[in-house]
Structure formats: structure tokens, C-alpha cells
Amino acid sequence: MSATNMERKTEAVQLDKHSSCQILMERKVQTKTNLQEIVKSKLKNGCFCTTKRLKNTFIDFFPVIHWLPKYNCKEYIWGDVMSGLIIGIILIPQAIAYSLLAGLKPIYSLYTSFFANLIYFILGTSRHVSVGIFSLLSLMVGQVVDRELQLAGFDVNDDTQHTISSTGESNVTTFNFSTGLMSTECGKECYAISVATALTFLAGVYQVLMGVFQLGFLSMYLSEPMLDGFATGASLMILTAQVKYLLGIKIPRSQGYGMIITTWINIFKNISETNFCDVITSAICIVVLIAAKELGDRYKQKLKLPLPTELIVIVVATLISHFGNLNQVYGTSVSGSIPTGFIPPKIPDVWVMPRVAADAVPLAVVSFAFTVSLSEMFAKKYEYTVKANQEMFAIGFCNIIPSFFHSFATSAALAKTLVKASTGCQTQVSSVVSALVVLLVLLVFAPFFYSLQKCVLACIIIVSLREALRKFKDLPIRWHLNKVDCLVWSVTALSSAFISTEMGLLIGVIFSMLCIIARMQLPHTALLSQIQNTVFYEDDRKYEHLFPVSNIKIFRFEAPLYYANKGFFLQSLYKMTGLDPALEIIRRKKNKKKEKELASKGKKRAAAVERINNADTTSNLVPNQLDFHTIIVDCSSIPFLDTTGVNTLKGILKGYQEVGIGVVLSCCNPSVIDSLERSEYFGKDNKDIHELLFYSVHSAVQFAKEKMSVVTDTTI
């Protein structure tokens, strides 16, 4: 009967065989599978369509259809309405403030917040995540927008006004572009939002494609220290970009690598132009916002709802600026007109997309990474499940669809999600309530923010970075907990801050991977000694009161054995055992040769041997007298072997046998055993497996001792 026709077949593998203990392990033989049949089956299942499957696919793509009919109105509605109102109130000042980071008008930030909440309500699987405008993404969008504005010849000064000269001609720079179908003249604001929507559309397309190809698992390669460091480094860049608003000075926006350094140089060059009205306003706003945050944190158990401090500050500052006429009297920079209603939808400009296609990649990665990680974090906390690929679709369409309505990139935001969860949110119905609050501002209250000073918005942004910047204080703790993770955090944070956000993300990912590779290439190795009166063995450099096993070396290698760390494995083994078999063979050949030469000259054999031993100056890895007869390799920490790893084990087995040292393996997992069997490590038909492979270190030690005692008795 062939292996493919057998449903169950076992073979006896004798792992331990000596007088004191004999263990028989039965290995199941895996039924061989035909790759062609698997592919055909997958294609058949994938292409097979039924009404039930189509219905399930539709419901999976629109999770709201599944959970909304089961909505418990009595239990959930109050918490959802309250959390939705609070998030809506928080969204308004943040949306207006983050428009500074994106280099766009505040109205577009409000559009973004409105549409993102509605779309995630329909497509999202998380009950608590708050999706909308996010400072980090706003910064990344703003950097691309500023670069394209400069390349198009626009003045990126934020305070450029649409003024009319005395001759009746507009002072606004325009940009002429043409496609195959039309020719259009576009002003600075028009061109800026065209770049932002094209960038957002492409980021959304990338995210949807990642969902189609089931690439949600990629989020696990973005480690928590790396994402944390990236956010902290970007926070430093965001802070730097807001300083000019705090001081009321006008400096050109820096582009390219080292933006943070260039910006600070320009700030100090223009420090004499400081607007003291903006400085005083900024100082007051920062004090009020920080004091309110500290009080809120201290008494959050007593306060049922978080204080809407940002909204209060914006309202009061707007009233003071309006009635005090600060823009005209002191020359402070204000937000300007914010129209009501919605601008007619427009297809993102295709002619811009090739210019921003590469910039959309890090934007898409950061957006989905934060959304998926936050979704999984809160799902675990509140004991429900989310689908990573569906989250990819959700955030992808939160970017694609709003890009037709003059919106820019969105993702989940930790701060708003924490507030949402703490104020009683039960489902994404709260997102609809938040969207209605934003809609009310869009339709009615938007024009009232005309006189709002930009320095007030900058203060809101800076105070919102408080938690991210506080993480610098945690560096000693990070270093104590895990030095490698601390290095990943530091490298990512510094590169994100001092090079660029995109390069910081790339450097962080590459450095994280290199750390993993380094751990696998240079793993921990140890010689084991016995714990007194037990059958267990541990690292004698880590624990005290262990007892070395006489005449036996027990070597542990704590990583996969593959082509990249083969050299380190051999180097560690030779160093710890004190014996390189190749050098020992060379030494013995030299001794034998010298012995013959001396014997031919008529000298006594004993004197010749003594002189040879005294004159021998070979490596310290070659001892004159061997103090052990067996090496036991503890394979409990070796998850797999590749071909190079198998050949390495075969090489040390042969090499040490040539100098009279036995090599045995212990604690191998089935994958390692299969690799060794396929390469005939245990001889033909595994005839030597009972002498080379043992179930435990202690069994191997007992076998080695008994074998040596038998050899000694035979010699005697």
C-alpha cells in the first residue's frame, strides 16, 4: 500500500536505548498531498458562487448589516449618544487645528471628519475605534502638499491672501495644467486640495488592494516600539512646525531631509519679528489647556464627562479676536473665512497621481497600521473580535470615497478612541452622532471661526502631543525592560524627527528586521550543568550551585540553525568545548610526523613526545589532553534546520568522531527530526538513531556514561 493511499501509518522511532531507560516514540507518517490537486481545489472553492455565499460575502463587507438589526436600543443608545456628542465636540477644534499641519483650509478638515465617521460606521468591525483626522497623517499630507506647491511655483506662505490690486487684477498665483481632455487654471488653494485628494485616493487604493490580497498580516511586522518611536519622532516635527504660529513669525516652510533643523534655524533668524500679541495669546492658551488636562487626569474618576476645554478655548479666543480686532490692530494671523455647506464632489485629479504615487505608500502603511493595531487592542480589551482585512477595506474606503468630496487621509486616533471608550461607547452608532455634530458646524457655525487666531490652533496641536512627548521620560524604563526594543524606539524616533517621516518609517522597519536577524545570527549559547538531585540542566553562567557533568559537554544553541548563523554555531561550539576537531587532527598529524623524525635520529620515544608537547604552540582551542568524551547538543531551542544546518550537524558528528569524541542530540522537535532523517543523519533506515538521538538531556547523559563505562570495562 502506497503512502498516498494510507490514511494512517506509524513508524516506531527508538529515541532512548540503554539499560536504565528505553522509550519508544511512534511517529505518524503524513499523508502526501498533491500540489496540483490543492491548487485546483482552492480555485474551485474560490470561483464557486452560491446565493448563500454571495449573501455572506456581502454581509462580511458591510458589517453594519449584521450588527445594526441586533442593536439593543435601551442598553446602548445613551452611551453611544453621549460618546458621539463628546467626540464631535473634540473633533471640531482638532479638525480646524490640524488643517495647519495639512497646509489646507479648515473646511477640508471638517469634510474629512464628517465622511470618515459615516463610512467607518458602515464598513468597520471595531465597536470603539474613532476614525477621523489624525495629526501624524495631516503632517505627512502637508509635507507632500507643500512640496508640490513649491514645484508648481506657488508661495507656500500660509498668510497669502486673495487680494485685488488697484487695477482690478488678482494677486493670486495660478497654475495652468492640461490633460488630454481639458485645460484648467488652478489657484493655490485649488492646487493644494487637488494634491491632497489625489494622494488620499491612492493611499486608499493601496489599502484596498492590500485587503484584496489578504495582506492584513503585514501589520504584525510593524512592531509596537517602532510605531511608538515613529509617532514620537513625528510629534517633534509637528511641534517644530507649530512654533512659528506661537511666535507669530513668517518663515518659509522647510522641505526635504532635516526639515526640523532647517525650521529651527529659520526661527532663530527671524526671532526679531515676533508678534507679541500671538506670544501672549499662546502662553495663556497653553497654560489653560495644560491646567485643564492635568485637572481632568487627576479627577477623571469624579468627572463623568471630559472637559471640552479645546472648544471653550476656541470660542473664547474667537470672540476676543473678533471684538478686539486683533488681526487689524496687531497683525495676528487668523483662520480666515470658512464657507458653509458642501462643495460639489470632484474626481481626484489623475494628472497629479503619478507625482504622489510613491508618497501614498507610507501614508497607506501608517494609516492601516494604527487603525488595525488600535482595533485589535480595544477588541481584546472588551472581548470581541475584529477582522484585520476588513479593517483594511474600511480604512481604504474611508480614504477613497471622501477624496471625491475634497477630503484628505484619515485613520484611527488613540486619544479620541480612549475618550470614546471611557464615555460609554458601545457601537459605531456613536460615529454617526459625531458626524451629525460636525455637519451642524459645516452648515451653520463654520463662518463664526473667521477671526480665530492660528496661534490658538497651534496651542491645541502642541498640547495634544503631550502624551507622545512624555514618552522620552520612559527611556530608562524601556532600556531596563528590553535594550533592543529601546534601540528600535530611539532609532525610529530620531530618524523620523531629524530626517523625514517617510524615511523614519522605512528606517524603523529595516532596523527592526535587522535586530531580529541579528538575534538569530548571534543567539545566546550556553554550556549546561546539572541542577543538584534533579534530571534538569541549565546554563552554568546564569545560575549558581550547578554541577558540571564529568567528561561530558552539554551545548545549547538558542536559535534556528540555518545558513546565516552556521559560522557562529561552530565558533561557539569550538570555543565552549575548547576543541576544534580540525585543529586537533592537524596537531596529531604534526606530532606523529615529528615523532617519526625524532625516532629516526635514535632518540627515545618518551623524550621525543615530551619535547613535542612542550614545543607545540597551536591554538588554544587544541588541548594537549582531552577532558571529555561526549558532546550533547541540546536542540530544544532549535525550531528548524535548513540544508546548511543539517550539513553542519553532520560535519561536527564526523569531525568529532575522528578525534574520538561522540556527538549526540537531545530534545529535537519533530521538524528537526524529519530534516535529519531525510538527510540520513542517523544512517540508512535510521539504524543509528538510538545512539544519536535522545528525548531528554538527562537520557543522553545517562547513555554517554553507560557507553563509556562499557568501553572502559572492555579495555580493562
Q: For the chain, what are the domain ranges?
A: 76-155+187-517, 525-592+626-714
Residue 40 confidence (pLDDT) above 90: no
- Confidence band of 394 (pLDDT split at 50, 70, 90): very high
The x, y and z cell numbers of residue 534, run together, are 534533579
Q: What is the pLDDT of residues 395-414, one digit of tens each?
A: 999 999 999 999 999 998 87
What is the full DSSP assignment across 586-646?
HHHHHHHHHHHHHHHTT--HHHHHHHHHHH----TTS-SS---SEEEEE-TT---B-HHHH
Instruction: Give the mean model confidence (pLDDT) for residues 455-484.
Output: 87
Express as a percent the part of the chain with pLDDT over 90: 32
Instruction: Give the mean model confidence (pLDDT) for residues 261-281.
Output: 90
21 vs 36, higher pLDDT: 36
Q: How far apart are CA 692 and CA 686, in angstroms?
A: 10
Instruction: Give the mean model confidence (pLDDT) for residues 125-135.
Output: 90
Instruction: Give the mean model confidence (pLDDT) for residues 5-32.
Output: 50
Residue pair 553/663 in contact by the 8 Å Cβ criterion: no
- Confidence band of 422 (pLDDT split at 50, 70, 90): confident
Instruction: Give the mean model confidence (pLDDT) for residues 248-271.
Output: 85
Query: Burial code of 246-270, b = ≥16 C-beta within 10 A, e = fewer?
Result: bbbbebebbbeeebbebbeebbeee
Residue 34 confidence (pLDDT) above 60: yes
Topology of domain 525-592+626-714 in CATH is Transcription Regulator spoIIAA (3.30.750)
pLDDT at 602: 58
Instruction: Give the mean model confidence (pLDDT) for residues 297-324.
Output: 82
pLDDT at 330: 86
Instruction: Give the mean model confidence (pLDDT) for residues 682-692.
Output: 87
Most confident of 127-131, 295-299, 624-628: 127-131
Query: Burial code of 459-486, b = ≥16 C-beta within 10 A, e = fewer?
Result: bbbbbbbeebeebeeeeeebeeeeeebb
What is the full DSSP assignment across 166-193?
TTS-B---EEEEE-SS-EEEEEHHHHHH
State the amino acid at position 186 in one-letter form: C
Residue 634 confidence (pLDDT) above 90: yes
pLDDT at 601: 67
Mean pLDDT of the chain: 83
Residue pair 84/76 in contact by the 8 Å Cβ criterion: no
Instruction: Give the mean model confidence (pLDDT) for residues 315-339.
Output: 87
- Confidence band of 571 (pLDDT split at 50, 70, 90): very high
Residue 367 confidence (pLDDT) above 80: yes
347 vs 185, higher pLDDT: 347
Q: How far is CA 99 from the centre of its chain?
A: 27
State the amino acid at position 681 in one-letter form: Y
Between 61-65, 443-447, 653-657, the lowest mean confidence (pLDDT) is in 443-447
φ, ψ at 278 (rounded to 5°): -65, -40
- Confidence band of 157 (pLDDT split at 50, 70, 90): low
Instruction: Give the mean model confidence (pLDDT) for residues 580-607.
Output: 76
- How many other CB atoms are there within 10 angstroms of residue 92's CB atom? 26
pLDDT at 2: 43
Q: What is the pLDDT of residues 586-598, one digit of tens each?
A: 888 888 888 777 7
DSSP 708: H
Q: How far apart are CA 391 and CA 367, in angstroms?
A: 11
- Confidence band of 8 (pLDDT split at 50, 70, 90): very low
- 3-state SS, 425-491, equals CCCCHHHHHHHHHHHHHHHHHHHHHCCCEHHHHHHHHHHHCHHHHHHHHHHHHHHHHCHHHHHHHHH
Angle at 78 between CA 74 and CA 80, to 5 degrees: 110
Residue 11 confidence (pLDDT) above 50: no
Residue pair 666/635 in contact by the 8 Å Cβ criterion: yes
pLDDT at 185: 57
β 552-557/630-634 pair status: parallel
pLDDT at 23: 53
CA distances, 70 to each of 55, 73, 306, 426, 602 (Å): 18, 9, 30, 13, 104
Instruction: Give the mean model confidence (pLDDT) for residues 128-150.
Output: 89
Instruction: Give the mean model confidence (pLDDT) for residues 501-521.
Output: 88
pLDDT at 495: 92
pLDDT at 424: 81
Residue 457: closest CA among 330, 339, 310: 310
pLDDT at 256: 73
Q: How far is CA 77 from the centre of its chain?
A: 36
